Amino acid sequence: MLRIEDTDMARNSDEALQAIIEAFDWVGMDYDGEVYYQSKRFELYKKYVDQLLSEGKAYKCYMSKEELDALREEQMARKERPRYDGRYRDFTGTPPQGVEPVIRIKAPLDGVIRFTDGVKGDINIASSEVDDFIIARGDGTPTYNFVVAIDDALMGVTDVIRGDDHLYNTPKQIVVYNALGFELPRFAHLAMINNEQGKKLSKRDGATDVMEYKHNGFLPEALLNFLVRLGWSHGDQEIFSLDEMRELFDPKDINKSASSYNLDKLLWLNGHYIKNTPNQSLATMLKDFDLHIDGHDKLELLLDATKERGKTLAEIAGQIKMILDAPQNYNEKELKKAFKEDTADILNDFMALLRDSKDSLHLPCDYHALLEKLVAKRQIGFGKIGQPLRVALLGSMSGAGLDEIMAILGVDETLSRIEKILKS
């Protein structure tokens, strides 16, 4: 079930909504039925507000925002926890003019609100910490803590699992459940995720938007797998498919402590999932990285040669482009390192071999045999030819395997790239 909690009409934005739907969609988390919008259920909530009002469990409060601010400041100055003082709770006089009242719910005056948290265990919060919070604004629209309790009860939600930042909302929502006579669900509060430095996550920490991960070349499976292991575990298992997550996830295995975001592990997981993704699917995803090899006759070879060494789709795309596009310039340092006095001679020899057996060269192993032939003939180490050849073909000393590269390029292109570097 997917429910959009959009009770604050002033803050709703269509872009934010679309971003949420898009993210769920990309990550492969689907939901039953249609999306619920709280903004379309205001009539329903209004009935419950009226009910509480007529039962004397809620009341109108005529305090202005300015008065409220002043009260809070006073309380802070007295080093108290700022909260509404309940001055209109039993008000019977003539209401002040020109103020649209808000509706507040009557929270218990004394005692303790208790609940058992699925992660943290028993939580006791003094009722004095929970004030008569607002359930409907001056303009009549209801607020989050009120409608969320109603919807959870009405929609049959059994387990409310959410971030730690909602812990203090729980006693408020319990007040609503009790006032309306609804049965309490189970609550579980997850500790927050910190940044790599162990400090709280902020906008500065980069990828806070789910879709940014897509744009950075991450697979949804990897992101989900990474996230599920943050604060949750199932023995020593590290890799979980979506189905396994659904099957094995149990709130009792959730950790109490906050965890830190760890990019290295995400990268490792992403590499794992890339290796296990069929080439055809990779080719489709690679379109988003300005790489179109869908109908390419060497598609399988291209991906086999690169998928083992890229941690993100962006890296894979880059490596494939290096193969497909002849190098425009060469890394000076690497060029110097790879090219010795006899290098040109060796490369010329290799070109001769290439021309001779041109018609029998098709598979990577064919090229490999040719390289071995050269090495044996000239009595040199593989490095003597391998390094300069790689620079010639890719413009860099690191990248895919030589055999694969040449098989993809074909004899003519291989020759032309070698000739080009010899001329420079």
Partner RNA sequence: GACCCUUUCAUCUAGUGGCCAAGGAUGCUAUGUUUUCAACAUAGAUACAGAGGUUCAAAUCCUCUAAGGGUCGCCA
Stretch 308-367 residues interacting with RNA (CB under 7 A): 308-309
Beta strands 36-37 and 3-4: pairing type? parallel
Query: Smallest distance, Å, CB 79 to RNA?
Result: 3
At 197, list the tokens.
């430095």
Residue pair 7/144 in contact by the 8 Å Cβ criterion: yes
DSSP string, 205-272: GS--SHHHHHHTT--HHHHHHHHHTSSB--TT-----HHHHHHH--GGGB-SS-EE--HHHHHHHHHH
Provide the minimum distance between the beta carbon of 159 and RNA in the complex, in angstroms, as a whole number. Answer: 18
CB atoms within 10 A of CB 148: 23
Q: Shortest gap between Cβ of 215 and RNA (angstroms)?
A: 22
User: Which x/- pattern over 80-109 shows residues binding RNA (rule: CB under 7 A)?
Assistant: xxxxx--------------xx-x-------
Interface residues for RNA in 24-53 (CB under 7 A)?
none
CA-closest candidate to residue 403, choices 317, 311, 301, 325: 301
DSSP collapsed to 3 states, 55-76:
CCCEEEECCCHHHHHHHHHHHH
The CB-of-328 to RNA minimum distance in angstroms stands at 20
Token pair listed for 381? 């180490």
Q: Does residue 115 bind RNA (CB under 7 A)?
A: no
Question: Contacts with RNA: how many residues (CB under 7 A)?
Answer: 88
Of 175, 176, 230, 361, the residue at the interface with RNA (CB under 7 A) is: 230
Query: Per-residue x/- mask for RNA, residues 187 to 226, rule CB under 7 A?
Result: ----xx-x---xxx--------------------------
Candidates 143-151, 321-329, 340-348, 355-363 — which segment interacts with RNA by CB under 7 A? 143-151
Element (H, E) at 47: helix 42-54
Q: How far is the CB of 382 from RNA (least distance, A)?
A: 3
* Nearest one of 394, 222, 420 to 318, comparing CA atoms: 394
> Of 273 and 295, which has the nearer Cβ to RNA?
273
- Applying the rule CB under 7 A, the residues between 376 and 395 that interact with RNA are 381-383, 386-387, 389-390
